[in-house]
């Protein structure tokens, strides 16, 4: 900059530096150009599809045919649609219960795996298995486990004499809900456990040593050392976990397709059924768009949580 | 649920080889002669691609591939085949129609061509040619094939019948040496079968094939209808309520768990000996025949028409598979030649035989195909094209009917009432509201 400034001042005073000349050497201008490829990617693959989805929800588009703008009509219709509200309820229940249990079990597993166990490496690898298996595969396995006639669970209990008839896992609304939640938990625990384990490994052993010397019980060590130091990673893990669970699709689609009588329809599956299978693209897009506020709320909670030092470093340290 | 294993690849290979043996030099001569004399001459250098629904009976697909091969040999037109699960053909075809690019031909479900009639190649000449030559089309095929006006927009290739499958011995023991022919007898049958510990069941989950087949049969059998002939929604009627009550009475005599069933569940349960009657295509029977350990099931089972309800005439609902060509194709003559070639007796008879009753013709002359009489247990499937009603019932077979079926509106109405989630009035009200939106 200094060099160019010198140069321009050496030129005849009659010729002013044009705005273009100045722009050419402006670092911010250059920076803008370097950012463009990344911005183009984001716009093309994130903003455009999202915008298109939201736009579609204001039209009566069908598959293979662009629709006309209908304003809030899709939303008004959904507002009175009992199946839509049922799917909202199912989604919230599914997310809340599954995420909570995944967190509890995941944290427990992580603490366990952090101890000095024999065959530690193998055990850690085994824990990851449910996460590695493709969702559709594990969903098909659960489909057999929950089968109304050939369930291994029913079979075993029947042969042990605990029950007389088969358990109707996926045929009864509440059984079906708990069954799909269980399958989701089975699948999601390893992610939580392994990530929290990674967090646990960053806690310095000297802190525990100091606490032990001070006579802290194991609960106190967890409560006042492990937990506060783990909160940032908990916030990240739970954000992801909630997002994955909220937008789950494959598991439900393979196991129940939203049945029985829509008792397990999540917003994602209902959106797919209406938009792609039923061809009502606009209405399906409206259901998908209705998920955005919930997802934003989940992200914001953890975002603000991450910003707060209290969350990161324990209480009374604002 | 089709597993694609090495074994089945080998089986497919040998079957294809066997089919190749049939298509000896004499046959090739015939095919070439056909290509010479056919009214449609494929364009020079023509190549076709076809997207079809994914098969349920392996030998049917083998025969289809052999058929396409012989067409290539006769005319020099290369045909590329792609397969999709039958529910997924429709979205793909819609996108292709909208963008004007994609496979030349689509072979899909029900009302596929009616979603975009103006994008379909006019195939009136092919339909007339085949109709004249093979004893005419059955009336429902005309409904599916013709667009508005008198133009054919698709060739209704075949139906896949969905009939009642039942075990002989158990039925006899329950006092039914013949399968019931009326809805009242059928209910008595279901009760008797349950009472002696050999119950049956029909899918009430989101099973697009089996589920829709039985609940539409039930709705129509009692005079209920989704829409009238002007596509006005008339689901809210006493007849619908009667149908619901009947379905509930049946449901109470099913094996537990049918509310969770998808299209594959009843096949598994029937072949596993857990249920003794259900509704299905011929695939259970074919699977039982092909599996040595299930031979006794194949011998002890048979198929029957759907019982007739108070309306006094058959109200069956079978899957239609229409074949359409897109008008963006560069080779319209080749498309038409292929359509005609597929349904010529020398091809179609072989194909029909290989499908073992899974597919049913829409051209009257094929009633005589030996597949329908060689094994009397396949005979009922011969008549499904004549007994079926069309998607949408009294109304049009277009997009709206397809939407209502795909969104399980009527199926959910029955399921909600049968499982006790809603009372009859409530279930009908929900369906009525959804249907009014679809048919607006």
**pLDDT tens string B5-64:** 444 444 444 444 444 444 466 777 777 888 888 888 888 888 999 999 888 778 889 999
Residue B181 near residue B166 (C-beta atoms within 8 A): no
Q: Are residues A254 and A298 in the same domain?
A: yes
Q: Are residues B339 and B298 in the same domain?
A: no
Q: How would you classify the pairing of strands B105-107 and B359-361? A: unpaired
Has residue B384 been placed in a domain? no
Mean pLDDT across chain B: 88
Q: Are residues B325 and B303 in the same domain?
A: no
pLDDT, residue A288, reads: 94
Q: Are residues B25 and B112 in the same domain?
A: yes
Has residue B217 been placed in a domain? yes
B56 or B152, greater pLDDT: B152
pLDDT, residue A129, reads: 87
In terms of average pLDDT, the best of A300-314, B100-114, B413-427 is B413-427
Q: Are residues A145 and A187 in the same domain?
A: yes
**B81: β partners:** B50
Cis peptide before A260 (omega within 30 of 0): yes
Has residue A62 been placed in a domain? no
Has residue B399 been placed in a domain? no
Q: What is the C-alpha to C-alpha distance for residues B157 and B64, in angstroms, rounded to an integer?
A: 12
SS3 B47: strand
> Is the sign of the CA dihedral B428, B429, B430, B431 positive or negative?
positive
Per-residue pLDDT of chain A (318 residues; tens, 9 = 90+): 444 444 544 455 556 778 888 888 888 888 888 999 999 999 999 999 999 999 999 998 887 677 888 888 899 999 988 899 999 999 999 999 999 999 999 999 999 888 888 888 888 888 888 888 888 888 889 988 998 888 889 889 988 988 888 888 888 889 999 999 999 999 999 999 999 999 998 888 899 899 999 988 888 888 888 888 888 888 888 888 999 999 999 899 888 888 788 899 999 999 998 888 777 889 999 999 999 999 998 888 877 776 665 555 555 544
Q: What is the C-alpha to C-alpha distance for residues A169 and A147, in angstroms, rounded to an integer?
A: 7
pLDDT, residue B26, reads: 72
Residue of B83, B141, B316, B415 whose CA lies nearest to A171: B415
Q: Are residues B358 and B259 in the same domain?
A: no
- Tens digit of each residue's pLDDT (9 = 90 or more) over B340-362: 999 998 889 989 988 888 899 99
Could you tell me the CATH number of the domain that includes residue B130?
Answer: 3.40.190.10
Q: Are residues A178 and A238 in the same domain?
A: yes
Query: Above 60 in pLDDT, residue B363?
Result: yes
Q: Are residues A91 and A206 in the same domain?
A: yes
- Best mutation target among A148, A154, A179, A183 (most B Cβ atoms within 10 Å) is A148
Q: Are residues B343 and B252 in the same domain?
A: no
Has residue A233 been placed in a domain? yes
In terms of average pLDDT, the best of A229-233, A270-274, B161-165, B393-397 is B161-165
Residue A215 near residue A278 (C-beta atoms within 8 A): no
Q: Are residues B118 and B18 in the same domain?
A: yes
Interface of B with A (CB under 8 A): 87, 90-91, 93-98, 115-116, 204-206, 255-262, 265, 268-269, 272, 274-275, 399, 402-403, 406-408, 412, 415-416, 419, 421, 430, 433-434, 437-438
Boundary residue ending a domain (B379, B394, B427): B379
SS3 B80: strand
**b/e burial code for range B186-210 (CB count within 10 A of at least 16 → b):** bbbbbbbbbeeebbbbbbbbbbbbb
pLDDT, residue B13, reads: 40
Q: Are residues B137 and B154 in the same domain?
A: yes
Task: Return the biggest CA–CA distance within chain B.
Answer: 67
Q: How far apart are the first and last CA of chain B?
A: 36
Q: Are residues B312 and B339 in the same domain?
A: no
Q: Report the residue from B98, B260, B399 with minimal CB separation from A171.
A: B260
Q: Are residues A134 and A29 in the same domain?
A: no
Q: Are residues B118 and B174 in the same domain?
A: no
- Tens digit of each residue's pLDDT (9 = 90 or more) over B222-276: 999 999 999 999 999 999 999 999 999 999 999 988 998 988 899 999 999 999 9
pLDDT, residue B91, reads: 80
SS3 B100: coil
H or E segment at B278?
A: strand B277-280
Q: Are residues B365 and B311 in the same domain?
A: no
Q: Are residues A226 and A268 in the same domain?
A: yes
Q: Give the position of tokens 């927009």.
A: B153
**b/e burial code for range A108-124 (CB count within 10 A of at least 16 → b):** ebbbebbeeeeeeeeeb
Residues in chain A: 318
Q: Do the Cβ atoms of B98 and A64 come within 8 Å?
A: yes
Residue of B246, B224, B213 whose CA lies nearest to B435: B224
> Is the sign of the CA dihedral A250, A251, A254, A257 positive or negative?
negative
Q: Are residues A45 and A154 in the same domain?
A: no
pLDDT, residue A14, reads: 54
Q: Are residues A98 and A236 in the same domain?
A: yes
What is the DSSP code string of B166-180? EEHHHHHHTT-SS--
User: Considering its fold, how many domains does chain B have in total?
Assistant: 2
- ipTM tops the 0.95 cut: no
What is the DSSP code string of A141-155? HHHHHT-TTT-HHHH
pLDDT, residue A64, reads: 65
Band the pLDDT of B2: cuts 50, 70, 90.
Answer: very low
Q: Please return the burial class of B340, using the count of CB atoms within 10 Å of its CB with bins 0-12, 13-18 and 19+.
A: buried
Q: What is the C-alpha to C-alpha distance for residues B419 and A261, in angstroms, rounded to an integer?
A: 8
Residues spanned by the domain of A34: 18-56
User: Considering its fold, how many domains does chain A have in total?
Assistant: 2
Q: Identify all chain A residues contacting B116, using CB atoms and an 8 Å cutoff.
A: 64-65
pLDDT, residue A313, reads: 55
Q: Does A316 touch chain B (CB under 8 A)?
A: no
- List of residues 6+ apart from B309 with CB closer than 8 A: B182, B183, B218, B220, B221, B222, B223, B246, B315
pLDDT, residue B25, reads: 67
Phi, psi of A48 (to 5 degrees): -65, -50
Has residue B392 been placed in a domain? no
| Residues above pLDDT 90, as percent of chain B | 61
Has residue B63 been placed in a domain? yes
Q: Identify all chain B residues contacting A177, using CB atoms and an 8 Å cutoff.
A: none
Phi-psi region of B392 (alpha: psi -120 to 50; beta: other; left: phi over 0): left
Q: Are residues B185 and B268 in the same domain?
A: yes
Has residue B390 been placed in a domain? no
Has residue A318 been placed in a domain? no
Has residue B257 been placed in a domain? yes
Query: Above 50 in pLDDT, residue B1?
Result: no
Q: Report the residue from A77, A172, A258 with minimal CB separation from B206.
A: A258
């Amino acid at each position: 900059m200094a060099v160019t400034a010198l140069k321009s001042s050496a030129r005849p005073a009659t010729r002013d530096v044009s705005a273009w000349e100045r722009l050419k050497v402006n670092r911010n201008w250059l920076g803008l150009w370097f950012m463009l490829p990344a911005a183009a990617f984001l716009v093309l693959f994130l903003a455009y599809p999202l915008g298109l989805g939201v736009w579609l929800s204001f039209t009566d588009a069908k598959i293979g045919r662009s629709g006309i703008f209908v304003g809030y009509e899709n939303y008004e219709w959904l507002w009175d649609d009992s199946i839509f509200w049922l799917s909202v309820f199912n989604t919230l229940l599914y997310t809340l219960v599954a995420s909570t249990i995944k967190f509890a079990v995941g944290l427990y597993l992580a603490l366990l795996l952090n101890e000095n166990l024999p065959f530690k490496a193998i055990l850690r690898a085994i824990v990851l298995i449910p996460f590695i298996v493709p969702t559709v595969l594990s969903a098909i396995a659960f489909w057999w486990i929950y089968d109304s006639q050939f369930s291994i669970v029913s079979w075993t209990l029947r042969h042990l004499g605990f029950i007389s008839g088969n358990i109707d896992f996926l045929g009864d609304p509440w059984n079906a809900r708990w069954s799909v939640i269980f399958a989701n938990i089975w699948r999601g625990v390893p992610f939580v456990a392994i990530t929290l384990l990674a967090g646990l490994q960053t806690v310095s052993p000297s802190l525990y040593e100091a606490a032990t010397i001070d006579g802290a019980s194991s609960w106190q060590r967890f409560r006042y050392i492990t937990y506060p130091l783990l909160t940032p990673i908990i916030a990240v893990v739970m954000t992801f976990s909630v997002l994955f669970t909220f937008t789950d699709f494959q598991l439900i689609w393979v196991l129940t397709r939203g049945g029985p009588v829509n008792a397990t329809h999540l917003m994602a599956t209902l959106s797919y059924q209406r938009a792609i299978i039923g061809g009502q693209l606009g209405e399906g897009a409206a259901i998908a768009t209705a998920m955005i506020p919930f997802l934003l709320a989940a992200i914001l909670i953890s975002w603000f949580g991450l910003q707060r030092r209290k969350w990161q470093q324990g209480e009374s340290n604002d | 649920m089709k597993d694609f294993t090495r074994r089945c690849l080998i089986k497919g290979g040998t079957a294809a080889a066997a089919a190749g043996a049939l298509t000896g030099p004499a046959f090739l001569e015939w095919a070439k002669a056909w290509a010479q004399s056919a009214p449609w001459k494929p364009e020079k250098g023509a190549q076709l691609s076809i997207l079809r629904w994914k098969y349920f009976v392996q030998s049917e697909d083998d025969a289809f591939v052999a058929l396409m091969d012989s067409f290539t040999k006769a005319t020099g037109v290369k045909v590329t085949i792609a397969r999709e699960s039958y529910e997924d053909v429709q979205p793909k075809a819609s996108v292709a129609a909208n963008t004007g690019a994609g496979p030349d031909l689509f072979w899909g479900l029900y009302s596929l061509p009616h979603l975009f009639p103006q994008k379909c190649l006019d195939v009136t000449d092919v339909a007339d040619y085949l109709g004249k030559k093979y004893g005419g089309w059955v009336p429902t095929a005309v409904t599916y094939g013709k667009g508005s006006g008198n133009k054919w927009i698709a060739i209704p290739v075949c139906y896949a019948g969905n009939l009642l499958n039942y075990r002989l011995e158990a039925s006899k023991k329950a006092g039914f040496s013949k399968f019931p022919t009326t809805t009242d007898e059928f209910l008595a049958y279901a009760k008797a079968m349950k009472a002696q510990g050999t119950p049956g069941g029909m899918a009430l989950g989101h099973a697009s094939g089996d589920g829709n087949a039985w609940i539409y049969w039930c709705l129509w059998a009692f005079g209920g209808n989704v829409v009238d002939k002007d596509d006005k929604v008339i689901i809210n009627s006493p007849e619908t309520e009667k149908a619901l009550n009947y379905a509930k009475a049946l449901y109470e005599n099913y094996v537990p768990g049918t509310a969770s069933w998808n299209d594959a569940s009843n096949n598994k349960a029937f072949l596993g000996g857990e249920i003794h009657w259900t509704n299905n295509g011929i695939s259970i029977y074919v699977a039982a025949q092909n599996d040595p350990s299930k031979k006794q099931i194949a011998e002890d089972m048979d198929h029957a028409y759907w019982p007739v309800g108070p309306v006094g005439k058959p109200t069956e609902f079978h899957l239609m598979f229409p074949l359409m060509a897109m008008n963006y194709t560069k080779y319209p003559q080749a498309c038409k030649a292929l359509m005609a070639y597929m349904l010529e007796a020398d091809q179609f008879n072989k194909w029909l035989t290989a499908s073992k009753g899974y597919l049913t013709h829409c051209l009257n002359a094929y009633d005589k195909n030996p597949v329908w009489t060689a094994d009397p247990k396949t005979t009922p499937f011969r008549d499904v094209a004549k007994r079926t009603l069309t998607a949408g019932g009294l109304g049009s077979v277009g997009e709206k009917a397809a939407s209502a079926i795909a969104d399980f509106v009527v199926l959910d109405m029955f399921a909600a009432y049968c499982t006790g989630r809603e009372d009859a009035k409530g279930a009908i009200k929900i369906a009525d509201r959804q249907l009014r939106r679809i048919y607006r």
